């Protein structure tokens, strides 16, 4: 460990020496040949005023973004963003068309099932009438008797007519496997297909809702990172100004000023990158929810304070409400009905009977598989929520402490105190106390903590959203 600390200290010193070497040519180019004084305007990267103080003219967007040319601003909550996606996302529009198609399939299956059932009802009625007519015909003592002849002829004609109608309806009777499937199974399949497609539509909506949630949280996260990078950049500029002033009056060496300038330029590039990432995150969100890319978004913080996780309760709820389980349960219901019909009209050993039996077994396996997968997902989501909640509690107040530490380092630098800080002690670089190196180390640690806290808050919000979806609630 001591060896590593010595290497780290050596690396810091070498960095200062390297910066001096790299800028030597520039500094010589900026030297006044007559007076031997340095003209600081020769340094690139900052806009310098007449007095030579370091200033930067770009804060709002360090890279000069061309976004939001329209000047329009759209304020959004997470729920509003989700609602927009429900209206505009192409996947939802496509699955809505699938629902319409399944509705037509169900209407068609229902029509043919009704025709078959209606034919069966009429045939059964005809059989009853035929039985009554034959009974009445049997009561006639002598068909040739003129007194009974008209009745006999009428009854025989009615019997012949009904027999012909029954023969014509024979192919449509529900007394065989194929017609039974049309009357009961196909309609049930179409009905279940419609239900499953509607469930699939809900699944797509939930998937898009979760995507919007993540992109919404991403946009907030990257915008906050951009803000802390901007503050870090401004701190670096202030430190460069202080180092420049100290250098000009001979209080600090040139390498101290050069290192501060290098850090400011690095922070500017870092801020530019953060701005780009923030814009890209908003671009992704706007594309998903269907908002004009020229509109600037102002996103409200998402607060879900009503969530009270209870693993056992939520497991029970999730196993009932999750769409995947409802879909598998519907498919099992259809498979069981198909097997019941096969049992009634077919015998064991026939292909259709055995396939129907296998269909029930496969549907049961799929339902159990979905239950296992959902339980696993809920447990993982619960653990993630619990862990991120503890992390969020752990980092409460750390940013304020880090800011105070950075302020103390800046104060020591400005006042010239050479008391080593804990950060320098950790680096085994106590002799750098009161220098730009100490200030930069404190500011970098502050930035690191700020980013970490933002990331933890982001993870916590995403964990809450994931948990709600895992138990079948949604936003």
Q: Give the whole-angstrom CA distance, residue 384 versus residue 390.
A: 10
Least confident of 248-252, 346-350, 376-380, 426-430: 426-430
Q: Give the whole-angstrom CA distance, residue 231 versus residue 347.
A: 80
Least confident of 9-18, 76-85, 125-134, 180-189: 9-18
CB count in 10 Å sphere of residue 62: 22
pLDDT-above-90 percentage for the chain = 38
- Show the tokens assigned to 62: 């360090």
Task: Output the average pLDDT for the chain.
Answer: 78
User: 3-state DSSP: the chain helix, strand, coil percent, rounded to 5?
Assistant: 75, 5, 20
Q: Is residue 150 part of a domain?
A: no
Tens-place pLDDT, residues 142-162: 877 787 788 877 888 888 877
Least confident of 22-31, 103-112, 390-399, 434-443: 22-31
Tell whether the model's pLDDT for residue 17 goes beyond 50. no
Q: Is residue 142 part of a domain?
A: no
For residue 417, the model assigns a pLDDT of: 53
Q: What CATH number is attached to the domain comprising 429?
A: 1.20.1600.10
pLDDT band for position 52 (cuts 50, 70, 90): very low
For residue 179, the model assigns a pLDDT of: 62
- Show the tokens assigned to 418: 């050479």
- Identify each DSSP E strand in 153-247 by its residue range: none
Q: Is residue 278 part of a domain?
A: yes
Strand partners, 298: 75
Q: Is residue 126 part of a domain?
A: no
Most confident of 12-26, 87-101, 361-375: 361-375
The domain of 407 spans 73-120+178-470
Vertex 46 angle, CA 45 and 51, to 5°:
140
Strand partners, 48: 54
Q: Is residue 201 part of a domain?
A: yes
List alpha helices for 290-435, DSSP H. Answer: 311-321, 323-345, 351-394, 398-415, 422-426
Q: Is residue 104 part of a domain?
A: yes
Q: Is residue 162 part of a domain?
A: no
Q: Is residue 147 part of a domain?
A: no
Tally of domains within the chain:
1
Contacts of 51 (CB under 8 A, 6+ apart): none
- Show the tokens assigned to 121: 């009802």
For residue 33, the model assigns a pLDDT of: 38
């Amino acid at each position: 460990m001591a060896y590593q600390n010595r290497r780290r200290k050596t690396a810091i010193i070498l960095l200062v020496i390297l910066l001096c070497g790299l800028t030597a040519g520039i500094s010589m180019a900026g030297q006044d040949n007559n007076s031997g004084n340095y003209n600081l305007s020769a340094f690139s990267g900052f806009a310098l005023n007449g007095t030579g103080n370091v200033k930067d003219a770009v804060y709002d967007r360090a890279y000069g973004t061309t976004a939001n040319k329209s000047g329009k601003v759209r304020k959004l909550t997470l729920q509003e963003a989700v609602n927009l996606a429900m209206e505009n996302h192409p996947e939802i529009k496509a699955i809505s068309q699938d629902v319409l198609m399944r509705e037509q399939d169900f209407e068609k299956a229902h029509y043919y099932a009704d025709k078959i059932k209606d034919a069966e009802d009429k045939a059964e009625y005809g059989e009853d009438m035929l039985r009554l007519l034959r009974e009445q015909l049997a009561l006639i003592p002598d068909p040739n008797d003129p007194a009974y002849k008209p009745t006999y002829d009428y009854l025989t004609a009615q019997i012949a007519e009904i027999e012909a109608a029954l023969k014509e309806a024979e192919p449509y009777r529900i007394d065989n496997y194929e017609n039974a499937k049309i009357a009961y199974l196909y309609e049930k399949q179409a009905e279940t297909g419609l239900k499953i497609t509607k469930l699939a539509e809900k699944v797509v909506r939930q998937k898009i809702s979760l995507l919007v949630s993540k992109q919404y949280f991403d946009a907030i996260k990257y915008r906050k990172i951009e803000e802390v990078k901007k503050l870090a950049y401004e701190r670096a500029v202030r430190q460069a100004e202080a180092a420049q002033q100290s250098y000009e009056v001979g209080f600090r060496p040139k390498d101290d000023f050069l290192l501060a300038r290098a850090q400011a330029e690095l922070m500017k590039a870092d801020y530019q990158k953060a701005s780009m990432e923030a814009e890209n995150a908003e671009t992704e969100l706007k594309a998903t929810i269907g908002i004009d890319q020229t509109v600037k978004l102002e996103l409200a913080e998402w607060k879900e304070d009503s969530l009270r996780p209870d693993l056992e309760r939520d497991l029970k709820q999730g196993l009932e409400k999750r769409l995947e389980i409802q879909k598998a349960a519907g498919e099992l219901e259809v498979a069981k009905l198909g097997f019941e019909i096969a049992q009634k009209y077919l015998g064991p050993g026939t292909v259709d009977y055995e396939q129907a039996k296998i269909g029930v077994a496969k549907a049961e396996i799929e339902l159990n598989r979905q239950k296992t997968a959902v339980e696993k997902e809920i447990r993982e989501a619960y653990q993630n929520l619990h862990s991120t909640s503890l992390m969020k509690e752990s980092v409460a107040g750390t940013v304020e402490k880090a800011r105070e530490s950075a302020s103390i380092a800046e104060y020591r630098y400005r006042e010239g105190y050479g008391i080593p800080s804990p950060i320098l002690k950790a680096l085994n670089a106590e002799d750098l106390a009161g220098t730009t190196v100490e200030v930069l180390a404190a500011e970098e640690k502050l930035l690191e903590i700020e980013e970490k806290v933002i990331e933890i808050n982001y993870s916590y919000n995403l964990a809450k959203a994931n948990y709600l979806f895992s138990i079948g609630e949604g936003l």
